[in-house]
Amino acid sequence: MGELEQARLQLAEAEAVLQDTRLELQEQTEVFSTMESMARSGYWRRIRDAGESVLLWSPGLCDIAGFERQEWISTERALSGVLPEDRHALGPVATTGIGSDLEYRWRRPDGEVRWMRSRTRRSAQEGGVMVEMGVVQDVTEEHRTAARLRDQLDFIQSIASSIPGFIYQCRVHPDGSHSLPYVSEAVNELMGVSQKLVRQDTQALERNVLPADLPMLRRSLGRAVRTLRPWHCEYRVLAPDGAVRWHMTSAALQAETDGTVLMHGYTIDITDRKHAAQEIERLAFYDALTQLPNRRLLLDRLQRSVLSSQRNHQHGALLFIDLDNFKDLNDTLGHDMGDQLLSQVAARLVGSVRQCDTVARFGGDEFVVLIDGLDEGLAQARVQAEAVAVKLLLCLNKPFELAGQQHYSTPSIGLTLFGQERLSVDELLKRADLAMYESKAAGRNTHRFFDPGMQEALHARSSMEVDLRQALARGELFAHYQPVVDAQGKVHGVEALARWNHPERGAISPLEFIPLAEQTGLILPLGEQILRGACEQLVRWSANARTAHLTIAVNVSARQFRQVDFAAQVLQILHDTGAHPSRLRLELTESLLLGDIEGTVARMEELKRAGVGFALDDFGTGYSSLAYLKRLPLDQLKIDRGFVRDVLTNPNDAAIVRTVLALADSLDLTVVAEGVETVEQLAFLRLHGCAQFQGFLFGRPDPVGDVEALLDGNA
């Protein structure tokens, strides 16, 4: 009895151990099954004996094959889902039981085709039993991902082949080194180096950059990498044909978690654009006879010099030079001799000053020399400027050779200094001009400094400033409107132009009071007054079908536009008056581009979103970069009347007008030609694609009633 009880206890213990083993095995099986499911994989075993073969599939393999879970699978069923065209891949496995990373397509019972990867191993057991084992994994997503990557690469390649340059992906590593995971084939055409070489040696691209531009390029890239701001840089390279070309590269940057900066960008050749810009600059800013800077460029440089002198606490000097009795030479020997003299005078002036100074032809026989960087002390600066004047007198007193004959010419020179005193460019030129006339009055062939005693005109200016302030307070300033018409004479809009009717002096020219308003800051209330009046007029016109289509253009000065709240002011006036924003067009000048371009664009875009239009007035008279022009949300360019006036007689002006019209067309901007006074000018402009015009040929600036009468006449 005792032995039986002991045997029963041993049996119970054995059953308990067996049960624990079953549970552990079941748990491991479930874990393994879960892992199979997560890995989208399964395994199989085939046991071959002398006369029998047994094939076993795991639950995971049944799942990815689309079968119900069953342990025993026939060989025929095991191969039933393999696509016929892929069965050759399984041939070695079927015959030898050995295969490595075989891939094939499998059609599930529901019709879905999946990609499978299989690896097999065979091992011999004792007694002639052969065991084959294999793992099968569903790799459909890998194939889909690879297909998507191929599609993306094809897309990138198609883009790369269609742009006029090459695209690239660059990694800037924390140690400062670079790698190029991708660069398009066009790098060979643009830089003369192969894709393979560039990817192996990123310095290959830099070797073609001109040494003078390489430090700037590296600094520019370094700033972009530090700030992660978009990178734009223009630089020169030595092209494969030996020519110097201009390139522009742009890239977007993003920081990676490992400290690497990833760049996606493109590089294009901008040589033609650079040459076009240089040609426009040459036509617009240089004198055709002497190749000196002309009046337009001088005014720009003088403005910059004045600001620089104030900032650096230095003085500058302006020398106004007029050739004595030049008219007599033209009258006696002819204009050809006069032109020869002017060219030789220009060469001598340039050779007598520093390279950093400016010698400009102001017009006719007038030249201007701009000297920067004089002493901080007024007395010493005066001595330095006078030394330059004496040197110029001496060099111009030497004989000139004209057509084999010696000719003597003398200059009269007026000087004025500038520094901490806030003076406008126009006022400096007036001072130098006044001083030049004093030197002529003193007997010519000499020089004179501007003296406060010459300032009667300036006293009159002060008196006018007082009157202008009172006029603004009394509402004496108002707007006249000049029509803007198309080629058929239909009025599309008007430009609002400020007018002043002085109670004692009568009508005062805008050429007098507008510059004064600019200098004194009175342009701010004046500009607001004209803008509000124009918006009120738009509301009145909107109520009449024959005038509802009209737009009104209002001039906005740089000082007015740069107010921080300028956009808010305009929007408030539109709200107060009820004028429709789309009927209002603000005319800006290129001088805005000398300042904060980012702020300018931001204000313009804020108003543009509200519907307000923009025109760039007097286009071509400033010194703005054409690169900035693309950034401005403009609707229209206005060709300055100075170009239109001589468009039929001056080849340079004609070329500039044609260039501006072509440029506007490429930027999808409308163009208005200002100052059209003759039918011949109109015909030239129409011939070259100008569609809208403004000038005395169509109407002077008149009161609103006269404009409405003109509309009645059109009707």
Choose among 634, 641, 598: nearest CA to 618: 641
CA gap 88, 130 in Å, rounded: 23
- Looking at residue 17, its pLDDT comes to 64
DSSP strand E in 94-144: where? 99-107, 113-124, 130-138
Do the domains 144-269 and 39-138 match in fold? yes
> At the topology level of CATH, where does 39-138 sit?
Beta-Lactamase (3.30.450)
Structure tokens at 482: 């000049």
Q: Please tell me the predicted confidence (pLDDT) of residue 199.
A: 86
State which H helix or E strand residue 511 sits in. Answer: helix 510-520
pLDDT tens-digit map of 521-547: 999 999 999 999 999 999 999 999 899
- Supply 317's token pair: 């000097």
- For residue 280, the model assigns a pLDDT of 83
pLDDT of 370 reads 98
CATH among 3.10.20.30, 3.40.50.300, 3.40.1670.10, 3.30.70.270 for 281-454: 3.30.70.270
**What pLDDT score does 172 carry?**
93
Q: Which of 128-132, 273-277, 329-333 has the least mean pLDDT?
A: 128-132
Least confident of 96-100, 101-105, 600-604, 670-674: 96-100
pLDDT over threshold 70, residue 714? no
Beta strands in 351-441 (DSSP E): 358-363, 366-374, 400-402, 405-407, 411-418
Residue with more model confidence, 53 or 234: 234
What whole-number distance in Å separates Cα of residue 107 and Cα of residue 104? 10
Q: What's the CATH fold of domain 144-269?
A: Beta-Lactamase (3.30.450)
Amino acid code (one letter) for 624: S
The mean per-residue pLDDT over the stretch 388-406 comes to 94
CA distance 524 to 606: 20
DSSP string for 209-268: B-TTTHHHHHHHHHHHHHHT--EEEEEEEE-TTS-EEEEEEEEEEEE-TTS-EEEEEEEE
What band does 486 get if pLDDT is binned at 50, 70 and 90?
A: very high
Q: What is the predicted pLDDT for the residue at 457? A: 62
Is residue 488's pLDDT more than 70? yes
Comparing 32 with 542, the larger pLDDT belongs to 542
Exposed/middle/buried for residue 558 (C-beta within 10 Å: 0-12, 13-18, 19+): middle
| Mean of the per-residue pLDDT values of the chain | 87
Quote helix, strand, coil % in the chain, to nearest 5: 50, 25, 25
Cα 559 from Cα 537, distance rounded (Å): 25
CA 133: distance to chain centroid? Answer: 65
Closest CA to 265 of 182, 198, 196, 203: 182
Closest CA to 657 of 292, 291, 280: 280
DSSP string computed for 68-83? PP-SB--HHHHTTTB-
pTM for the model: 0.45
| pLDDT of 56 above 90 | no
Spatial contact of 186 and 158, defined as CB atoms under 8 Å apart:
no
pLDDT at 715 over 90: no
* Per-residue pLDDT reduced to its tens digit, 425-480: 999 999 999 999 889 988 899 999 998 877 676 577 788 899 999 999 988 899 99
Fold category of 459-714 in CATH = TIM Barrel (3.20.20)
Closest CA to 628 of 590, 669, 672: 590
pLDDT band at 96 (very low <50, low <70, confident <90, very high): low
The C-alpha atoms of residue 444 and residue 413 are separated, in whole angstroms, by 8
Q: Which residues contact 89 (CB under 8 A, 6 or more apart)?
A: 102, 103, 104
Which residues touch 498 (CB under 8 Å, ≥6 apart)?
477, 478, 479, 510, 513, 514, 526, 530, 555
Are 581 and 587 within 8 A, CB to CB? no
Amino acid in position 168? Y
**What is residue 100's predicted lDDT score, i.e. its pLDDT?**
61
Domain ranges of the chain: 39-138, 144-269, 281-454, 459-714
Output the six-digit token pair for 419.
Answer: 């520094």
The β-bridge partners of 506 are: 502
- The Cα–Cα gap between 142 and 562 comes to 57
Query: 114 with 106: CB under 8 angstroms?
Result: yes
One-letter amino acid at 483 equals: P
List, for residues 170-212, the tens digit of each pLDDT value. 999 999 899 999 888 888 888 888 888 988 888 888 899 999 9
Pair 478, 497: CB distance under 8 Å: no
In the chain, pLDDT over 90 holds for what percent of residues? 54
